[in-house]
Amino acid sequence: MADSTPPSQETLSNLLHETRSFPPPADLAANANVKADAYDKAAGDRLGFWEEQAHRLQWDQPWDTVLDWQPPFAKWFVNGRLNASVNCVDRHVANGLGDRVAYYWEGEPGDTRTITYAELKDLVSQAANALTELGVTRGDRVAIYMPMIPETIVAMLACARVGAVHMVVFGGFSVDALGQRLDDSQAKLVITADGGYRRGKASALKPAVDAAVADRPAVEKVLVVRRTGQDVEWTDRDVWWHDLVDSQSTEHTPESHDAENPLYIMYTSGTTAKPKGILHTTGGYLTQASYTHWAVFDLKPETDVYWCAADIGWVTGHSYIVYGPLSNAATTVLYEGTPDTPHRGRFWEIIEKYKVTIAYMAPTAIRTFMKWGDDIPAGFDLSSLRVIGSVGEPINPEAYVWYRKHIGGDRTPVVDTWWQTETGAIMVSPLPGVTSGKPGAAMRALPGIVADVVDENGDSVPDGEGGFIVIREPWPSMLRGIWGDPERYRDTYWSRFEGLYFPGDGAKKDEDGDLWLLGRVDDVMLVSGHNISTTEVESALVSHPSVAEAAVVGATDKVTGQAIVGFVILRSGAEEVSEETVKALRDHVGASLGPIAKPARLLAVPELPKTRSGKIMRRLLRDIAENREVGDTSTLTDSSIMDVIAKQLPSAKQDD
Ligand code: ATP
Ligand code: MG
């Protein structure tokens, strides 16, 4: 690929230009929880705005200062006291909402449970009493390694109730991953289950815990929920949940905790490096989780049925299955299993069955559904939906439009929500009653959040240009640090730009000043002096009818600095990209983004390496494209996929 474009000075190229836009439905706009005036109001008095949002919660003692900011360390609602579990459960019961359904739980095999707020209060109280009996008190860390069952949420809330710090580890993580997190957090209790159901089978969990705790004496007890009934090994350290918890009193008097009491540690998925224990505290976190869940999804708790398909082992599950919805007294669907069990319409069947009105899922799932075909969702009644959301990765315009049309009936707004484990809650997103959404854009920082896009020097870029997304002011649900490592906290997030929080993502402002997230800065490709985002090239590839999914990386190239190598899953299922298709795809990308963005090579793959939360791990593909030994694959959904890709791709070797 000959290229004579001169090197440019821009931080990140703005290549994709999107003209489609979808205004909010009139009735939604008229009745929206948040209207357009919220932005200016919050900008005029940011701390006053967050103070007003904190009044969504029930405080045992009011704060005396909204924000104490000793950069980069923040305290919100200083000296305020509250109990997160009381805010999520007890107060709703006290307000007469005890009969409202908190969770419709759907097990993968089709077993179900309906749990009201009154029942949830009893369950959480019993579990809190059990924790106390096990000697768990304020500040202790409790690891939770569970399937997606109600007890997982009960365990989290029971920890919050007694002031212990929960640390949920995704139930599919390996012994090593669990062990590493146990070491780092020094948890004294592990709560687990015999197993859970995934892909139609009982999949064991306890053996991994047994192996992980075998040489970790810091773990005193293992509390085990019986979910599948499969055989388990047993030692004196183990306690059955049904023996210990079910016999406890349903009365438990909650203590109040400081607003800055640690609520949980969540290890980031580790797409980039050694997992970091992100620490969240109570008052500010709950305030922003609650506000954003209500604002971004336009939640009407009396009538909505809300469903977030993420796993609880991911921050999205914490903020938008547990703390956000419960603090708003919402009715939430909780589903244990995978989207293709027992059939590929399972998600749509759940929406039809529970008349879900708000659904929230990841672009990786949406692209998979696109691949499976339009006729699958068409077989279900999805007319109850009124807002649908996306989180986890940039949503390609093509996937957005498909989601809106085939799931949202061309009627529902799509909210593309940008945030990360570290931010604790949504930061940039459309508001469904205000924003005319553009496919692929996260649009604007929410009221009370000050985001910007800057160049290498930290200067704000003009509209129409790309750079790094930064957050200019502290926000209530911001991480309070990395567990046990304040230096890493400073280095990772606060050292790149003086006084600015740096999330590590690229972004651009379009001609209207709306924000588009462009993927991780580490993944940006430098081609002939242009910094090209992976997102734009991948979006161009998936907008071609022959491509179901795509990942691109920059591989070292003698001529251009880096050359773009594209890994594509072809809709036809073909194992090689034919010469015509290579040409068609290169031309298509060239026509969408300009010749600079044309991939130098295109390789067909059966699957892409993804983390548990569905994110493409481009660094592993870069290893392959540059013919290196593949790096750490421990957080992959399926680590064998790298062997499959490497074996299938002798042509990936750089031999020229
Ligand atoms: P690690 O930091 O250990 O590599 P991770 O970043 O994958 O893990 P998360 O905190 O779950 O873990 O993911 C947050 C990241 O996901 C964001 O920084 C961003 O790169 C991406 N992301 C999330 N939502 C969006 C979105 N709506 N648009 C674009 N990117 C998104
Ligand atoms: Mg991250």
Q: Does 479 share its domain with 533?
A: no
How far, in Å, is the centroid of ligand 1 from the Cα of 275? 13
- The pLDDT of residue 209 is 98
Q: Read off the CATH number of the domain in which 638 is found.
A: 3.30.300.30
Calculate how far, in angstroms, residue 278's C-alpha sits from the geometric centre of ligand 1.
13
User: Do residues 448 and 540 share a domain?
Assistant: no
Q: Which two tokens stand for residue 551?
A: 């990942």
In tens, the pLDDT along 372-431 reads 999 999 999 999 999 999 999 999 999 999 999 999 999 999 999 999 999 999 999 999
Indicate the range of 170-179, 297-306, 360-369 predicted with least confidence: 170-179
Average pLDDT score over residue span 5-30: 86
Asked if residue 271 has pLDDT above 60, the reply is: no
Rounded Cα–Cα distance for residues 446 and 454 (Å):
18
Q: Which-ligand-closest: CA of 271?
A: 1
Q: How confident is the prediction for the chain on average, in pLDDT?
A: 94
In the predicted model, what is the mean pLDDT of residues 304-326? 97
The residues, ordered by sequence, that sit 6+ positions from 423 with a Cβ below 8 Å of its Cβ are 471, 475, 477, 478, 479, 503
Q: Which ligand neighbours the alpha carbon of 613 most closely?
A: 1
pLDDT of residue 656 exceeding 50: no
Kindly state whether residues 283 and 311 are assigned to the same domain: yes
**What pLDDT, on a 0 to 100 scale, did the predictor assign at position 561?**
85
> Are 451 and 530 found together in one domain?
no
Name which residue sits closest to atom 16 of ligand 1, judged by CA: 392
For residue 640, pLDDT over 70 is answered with: yes
Rounded mean pLDDT, 9-30: 94
H and E: helices and strands count for the chain: 22, 30
Work out how many domains the chain is built from and give that number: 2
Q: What is the pLDDT of residues 251-270, one digit of tens each?
A: 999 999 999 999 999 998 66
Q: For position 406, what pLDDT does the model report?
A: 98
Ligand 2 centroid, distance to 504 Cα (angstroms): 7
493, 480 contact by CB (below 8 A): no
d(CA 288, CA 467): 26
The candidate with the shortest Cα–Cα distance to 469, out of 495, 451, 484, is: 451
One domain, residues 584 and 502: no
Distance of alpha carbon 377 from alpha carbon 358, whole angstroms? 16
Look at residue 354 and tell me if it is in a domain.
yes
The reply to whether 517 falls in a domain is: no
Overall residue count recorded for the chain in this entry: 656
Assess if residue 605 is contained within a domain. yes
**What pLDDT score was predicted for residue 70?**
97
Distance of CA 288 to the CA centre of its chain: 15
Looking at the CA of 269, which ligand is closest?
Answer: 1
Same domain, yes or no: 460 and 352: yes
Instruction: Tell me the three state secondary structure of residue 402.
Output: helix
- At residue 6 the predicted structure's pLDDT band, cuts being 50, 70 and 90, is very low
- Nearest CA, atom 31, ligand 1: 393
Distance (Å, rounded) from C-alpha 118 to C-alpha 131? 20
Same domain, 319 and 404: yes
| 393 CA → ligand 1 middle, Å | 6
The tens digit of pLDDT for each residue in 597-633 reads 999 999 999 999 998 778 899 999 999 998 888 887 7
Ligand 1 test: best mutation among 12, 308, 418, most atoms within 8 Å of CB? 418
**Which residues neighbour 243 within 8 Å (Cβ) at sequence distance 6 or greater?**
none
The residue-averaged pLDDT of 508-517 equals: 97
Whether 268 and 294 share a structural domain: yes
Both 417 and 291 in one domain: the answer is: yes
Q: What atom of ligand 1 comes closest to residue 269's alpha carbon?
A: 8
Q: Whose Cα sits closest to atom 27 in ligand 1?
A: 418
Residue entry with tokens 């734009």: 536
Question: Would the CB of 392 count as within 6 Å of ligand 1?
Answer: yes
Residue percentage of the chain with pLDDT more than 70 = 96
Atom 30, ligand 1: residue with shortest CA distance? 393
Question: Does the residue 2 lie in any domain?
Answer: no
Ligand 1 pocket, residue 442 CB under 6 Å:
yes
Ligand 1 close to Cβ of residue 418 (< 6 A): yes
268 and 392 co-located in one domain: yes
The segment with the largest mean pLDDT, out of 169-178, 452-461, 554-563, is 452-461
| pLDDT one-digit tens code per residue, 448-479 | 999 999 999 999 999 999 999 999 999 999 99
* Predicted local distance difference test score (pLDDT) of residue 653: 41
Q: pTM score, two decimals?
A: 0.95
pLDDT score of 35: 98
Rounded Cα distance between 62 and 79, Å, is 7
Per-residue pLDDT averaged across 135-154, rounded?
Answer: 98
For the cut 90, the answer to whether the pLDDT of residue 655 exceeds it is no
Residues 222-244: what's their mean pLDDT? 98
**Whether residue 362 has its Cβ less than 6 Å from ligand 1:** no
Q: State the residue range of the domain holding 614.
A: 524-654
Closest by CA to 199, choosing from 333, 309, 342, is: 342
Residue-wise DSSP of 86-113: IIIIIHHIIIIITTSEEEEEE-TTS-EE
The pLDDT value given to residue 649: 64
Task: Give whichever of 467-471, 520-524, 641-645 has the largest mean pLDDT.
Answer: 467-471
Taking 70 as the threshold, does the pLDDT of residue 8 lie above it?
Answer: no
Query: Is 357 within 8 Å of 383 (Cβ atoms)?
Result: no
Ligand 1 contact via 613 beta carbon (within 6 Å): yes
Nearest of 93, 257, 274, 63 to residue 164 by alpha carbon = 257
Find out whether 357 and 387 touch, Cβ atoms under 8 Å.
yes
What would the two tokens of residue 225 be? Answer: 């929920």
Domain assignment present for 330: yes
Task: Look up the CATH number of the domain holding residue 270.
Answer: 3.40.50.12780
Q: What pLDDT is stored for residue 648 in this prediction?
A: 65
Ligand nearest to the Cα of 366, by number = 1
State whether the beta carbon of 271 lies less than 6 angstroms from ligand 1: yes
Q: Are residues 588 and 621 in the same domain?
A: yes
Q: Which atom of ligand 1 is nearest to the CA of 395?
A: 28
Judge whether residue 73 has pLDDT over 60. Answer: yes
Q: Does 57 map to a domain?
A: yes
Q: Which pLDDT score, from 0 to 100, does residue 654 have?
A: 40
Q: Is residue 61 part of a domain?
A: yes
3-state secondary structure 424-489: CCCCECCCCCCCCECCCCCECECCCCCEEEECCCCCECCCCCEEEEEECCCCCCCCCEECCCHHHH
Handedness of CA 628, 634, 637, 643 (dihedral sign): positive
- Let me know whether 348 and 487 are in one domain: yes
Q: Under 8 Å CB-to-CB from 273, ≥6 apart: which residues? A: none
